[in-house]
Structure 1
Amino acid sequence: MPMTLPSPRSARRRFALISFLTWLPPGLALAPMVLLMTGRGLDLAMVGLVVAAYSATCIALELPTGGLADVLGRRVVLAASAAFGLAGLTVLALATTTWQFLLAALLKGMARALSSGPAQAWYVDTLHATRGPDADLKPGLAHGEAMGSVALCAGVLAGGFAPLAVPEHVITPLAAPVLAGAAAYAVLLVAALVAMPEAPRPRPTFTGVLRDVPATIGTGLRLALRDRGLSRLLLVAFAIGVAINAIELLTPGRLAALTGGAESGGTVYAVVAALGFAANAMGHALGPATARLFGTSARAATAATVVTSGALGGLAASVALSGVPGVVAAAAAYVVLFAGLSVTGLLRAEMMHRRVTSTRRATLMSVDSLQLQFGALVSSLAVGWLADRAGTAVAWAIAALVLLVSASLYPRAPGRAVTETPGRAR
Structure 2
Amino acid sequence: MTARSALRRYVLVCFLTWLPQGLMMPSMVLLMTARGLGLAEIGLVVTVFSVVTVSLELPTGGLADVLGRRVVLAASAAFLTAGLALMSVATTLWAFMAVSVLKGVARALSSGPAASWYVDTLHRVEGHDADLKPGLARGGATESVALCAGVLAGGALPLVVPPELVFPLAAPSLAGAVAAAGLLAAVLVALPEPPRGRASLAGVLRGVPGTVAAGLRLAGGGALLRRLMAAAMCSGVLLFAIELLTPGRLAELAGSAEEGGLAYAVVAALGFAGSAAGSALAPRAARLAGTSARGAIAGAVVAALSVGALAATSGLGGAAGLASAAGAYVVLFAGLAVTSLLALELTHRAVTAAERTTVTSISSLSQQSGGVAANLTLGALAAQAGLGAAWGVAAAVTLASALLFVRMPAPTGSSRAPALLARSGSD
Please give the per-residue CA displacement for 1:314-361, whole angstroms capped at 9, x wherever unaligned: 111112534322321221111100000111111000000010000101
| 1:3 match | none
- For 1:208-223, list aligned pairs within 5 A: 208-223=203-218
Please give the per-residue CA displacement for 1:381-420, whole angstroms capped at 9, x wherever unaligned: 2212322333322221222111111111125356488227
The aligned amino acid for 1:377 is V
| 1:86 match | 81
Task: Give distance in 2, aligned partners of 1:291 and 1:236.
Answer: 17
DSSP-derived class of the 2:354 partner: helix
Task: Give distance in 1, aligned partners of 2:28 and 2:230.
Answer: 31
State the percentage of identical aligned residues: 58
| 2:68 match | 73
Q: Quote how far apart the aligned CAs of 1:47 are.
A: 3.0
2:332 paired with 1:337: yes
Structure 2: gaps (5+ residues) = 418-427
Contact 2:26 2:262 in 1 (8 A): no
DSSP-derived class of the 1:129 partner: helix
Please give the per-residue CA displacement for 1:270-319, whole angstroms capped at 9, x wherever unaligned: 21111111111111111111111112111111111111111111111112
When structure 1 is superposed on structure 2, of 120-129 and 168-177 the one drifting more is 168-177
Q: Quote how far apart the aligned CAs of 1:173 are.
A: 2.7
| 2:414 match | 418
Between Structure 1 and Structure 2, how many residues are aligned? 416
Q: Quote how far apart the aligned CAs of 1:11 are.
A: 0.7
Contact 2:70 2:188 in 1 (8 A): yes
Q: What RMSD in Å do the two structures reach over aligned CA positions?
A: 1.9
2:343 paired with 1:348: yes
Please give the per-residue CA displacement for 1:217-248, whole angstroms capped at 9, x wherever unaligned: 11100101111111001100111111122222
When structure 1 is superposed on structure 2, of 392-401 and 122-131 the one drifting more is 392-401
When structure 1 is superposed on structure 2, of 92-101 and 120-129 the one drifting more is 92-101
Change (3 A) 1:385 1:34: closer
- For 1:273-288, list aligned pairs within 5 A: 273-288=268-283
2:95 paired with 1:100: yes
2:358 paired with 1:363: yes
The aligned amino acid for 2:8 is R
Structure 1: gaps (5+ residues) = 1-5, 422-426
Change (3 A) 1:90 1:20: same
| 1:321 match | 316
Q: 2:198 aligns with which of 189, 203, 210?
A: 203
DSSP-derived class of the 1:359 partner: coil
2:236 paired with 1:241: yes
Contact 2:154 2:265 in 1 (8 A): no
Contact 2:16 2:183 in 1 (8 A): yes
Task: Give distance in 2, aligned partners of 1:46 and 1:57.
Answer: 17
Q: 2:53 aligns with which of 58, 64, 76?
A: 58
Change (3 A) 1:98 1:381: closer
2:397 paired with 1:402: yes
- For 1:216-231, list aligned pairs within 5 A: 216-231=211-226
| 2:14 match | 19
Q: TM-score scaled to structure 1, two decimals?
A: 0.93
Please give the per-residue CA displacement for 1:144-192, whole angstroms capped at 9, x wherever unaligned: 1111111111111111111222222323333322222111111111111
Task: Give distance in 2, aligned partners of 1:91 and 1:274.
Answer: 25
Change (3 A) 1:323 1:41: closer
Change (3 A) 1:9 1:118: same
When structure 1 is superposed on structure 2, of 206-215 and 392-401 the one drifting more is 392-401
| 1:180 match | 175
The aligned amino acid for 1:181 is G
DSSP-derived class of the 1:135 partner: coil
Q: Quote how far apart the aligned CAs of 1:104 are.
A: 1.9
Contact 1:353 1:417 in 2 (8 A): no
Contact 2:381 2:390 in 1 (8 A): yes
Q: Quote how far apart the aligned CAs of 1:94 are.
A: 2.5
Task: Give distance in 2, aligned partners of 1:218 and 1:371.
Answer: 16
Change (3 A) 1:391 1:403: same
2:139 paired with 1:135: no
Change (3 A) 1:181 1:260: closer
| 2:25 match | 30
Task: Give distance in 1, aligned partners of 2:237 and 2:48.
Answer: 19
Contact 1:354 1:416 in 2 (8 A): no
Q: 2:2 aligns with which of 2, 7, 11?
A: 7
